[in-house]
Structure 1
Amino acid sequence: MSGLGILTLGVCFTMQSNLGTSPFDALLVGLTKNIGLTVGSWEIITSFIIIFCNNLLARKRPEFLGLLTAFVTGVCIDTWLFLLGDVLHPTHFVSKVMCQAIGLVIIGLGSAIYLQAKFAPNPIDFSMLVIRDLTGKSIMFSKTLIYILFLALAFVFGGPIGVGTVLTVFLGGPILNYFMPLIENMLVNAQQPHYRHS
């Protein structure tokens, strides 16, 4: 749970930077601007649709546990935007870049904690596995395909696509890879018994 809270704080930073967000977050913002409801509400709605599509494509029972992840994520995004929306407004390009960079680092940290905790699966992550199994291609191919789909939808709905989107796509993976072993080591050390020396 803490990982999702940290992750969504980073998402809030990237949204407030006005430089562009990840393709999926750009779609959520675009839907909010054009249709209404909150960004968090669209997180939950779109995740439910993705779960349904995963079910049809994989011909398996729906992974409704992923909806719990989406619900927590949606609530956290709305909470952070409510708390920081009127406070975090970088005006100069340098401050916007800093806001974006801080957001990416926080997202990487939160994602690592969330993944290492092995919480309920994210519907988008499950989609990558479904597409990989259906096409016989790599995870990278599946991820790229999903990114292109979300980018196209975000463009249609006028979501915030910009240099920040490019940074998210290309730096998100390396930042996550940096934090994953660090968090894993912290969890392993925390689980090891500590003995007092007399």
Structure 2
Amino acid sequence: MLKQKINAKTATAYLIGTIILSLGLCLSAKSNLGVSPVTSTIFALAAVTGQSFAVTNFFYLCFLILVQFALLRTEFRHTQWTQILASFLGSFFIDIFDNHLPIPETLTLRAIFLATGIVLVGIGASITVGMQVIPNPADALANVIGKISGKGFGIGKNLLDVISILLASILGLLFQGQLVGVGIGTFLGMIFTGRIIALCHPWTEKLHQKLIGE
């Protein structure tokens, strides 16, 4: 939900973080080596429906907001609908990058795209979360799952990741005859994205405090 201490500077930093995150997601997707767990479901849905990555991303994230609403019911706050704006912004920049980034042809370039994508996703996620403006629908749902299960955000994130990979695998195998969006990059993302966020987060938290104090 929206926090109270938001100004033009934190909003700008949040927007920059969204752009970095979107670029990272597109680089990972272009590598064709596997994307992050939640994105793998989006990638598979895009392949099955024939819709663009950006359009599928927006509607799937909106679906995750509806899942939060269904799970929380009366505890779902009106401000949580602002996640629709976060979904739109991310999808908007994904569309731009998806249309302009080339598809790497060699395995070396694909690996570079994947590694760079994972790093940028971690940095972008740290900035967007650190600015405390609007939560990403996937992270918000993971938090809801953790709250309902009584296991906390970490376990909620793990459960959502597993569910996402299973959904992407089922969609790919049923409709494409192969795994779509799930690959070595998916598991590398699971391992390293969190580590990158952990490394960046002390800096982004200090940046947030500085921006709201100015």
> What TM bracket, shorter-length normalisation?
0.7 to 0.9
1:96 is aligned, of 89, 110, 114, to 110
Whole-Å separation in 2 of the counterparts to 1:7 and 1:192: 25
Q: Tell me the CA shift for residue 182 of structure 1.
A: 2.2
Q: Tell me the CA shift for residue 96 of structure 1.
A: 1.7
Instruction: Name which of structure 1's ranges 146-155 and 134-143 shifts more when overlaid on structure 2.
Output: 134-143
2:92 is aligned, of 52, 56, 75, to 75
Aligned-residue sequence identity (percent) comes to: 26
Which structure has the larger Rg over C-alpha atoms?
1
Partner SS, residue 104 of structure 2: coil
More helix by share: 2
Instruction: Name which of structure 1's ranges 170-179 and 28-37 shifts more when overlaid on structure 2.
Output: 28-37
2:139 is aligned, of 125, 137, 140, to 125
The answer for the alignment partner of 2:83 in structure 1 is 66
TM normalised by structure 2 equals 0.82
Q: Tell me the CA shift for residue 186 of structure 1.
A: 4.0
Relative distance call for 1:112 and 1:34 in structure 2 (3 A) is same
Q: Tell me the CA shift for residue 24 of structure 1.
A: 1.5
Contact 2:147 2:153 in 1 (8 A): no
Whole-Å separation in 2 of the counterparts to 1:157 and 1:133: 28
Partner SS, residue 64 of structure 1: helix
Partner SS, residue 133 of structure 2: coil
Instruction: Name which of structure 1's ranges 168-177 and 90-99 shifts more when overlaid on structure 2.
Output: 90-99
The answer for the alignment partner of 2:183 in structure 1 is 162
Q: Tell me the CA shift for residue 187 of structure 1.
A: 4.5
Instruction: Name which of structure 1's ranges 147-156 and 121-130 shifts more when overlaid on structure 2.
Output: 121-130
Letter in structure 2 aligned against 1:168 = G
What do residues 46-86 of structure 1 show as CA deviations (whole Å, max 9, x unaligned)? 122211111111113452111110111111111110111xx
Partner SS, residue 90 of structure 2: helix
TM normalised by structure 1 equals 0.88
1:176 aligns with 2:197: yes
The answer for the alignment partner of 2:62 in structure 1 is 48
Contact 2:131 2:204 in 1 (8 A): no
Contact 2:143 2:157 in 1 (8 A): no
Unmatched segments (≥5 aa) in structure 1? 194-198
Q: Tell me the CA shift for residue 133 of structure 1.
A: 2.0
What do residues 101-133 of structure 1 show as CA deviations (whole Å, max 9, x unaligned)? 111111111112211211212222221222122
Flag as ranges the 4+ runs of structure 1 deviating above 6 A. Answer: none
Whole-Å separation in 2 of the counterparts to 1:129 and 1:163: 26
What RMSD in Å do the two structures reach over aligned CA positions?
1.8
1:136 is aligned, of 150, 157, 171, to 150
Q: Tell me the CA shift for residue 93 of structure 1.
A: 2.4
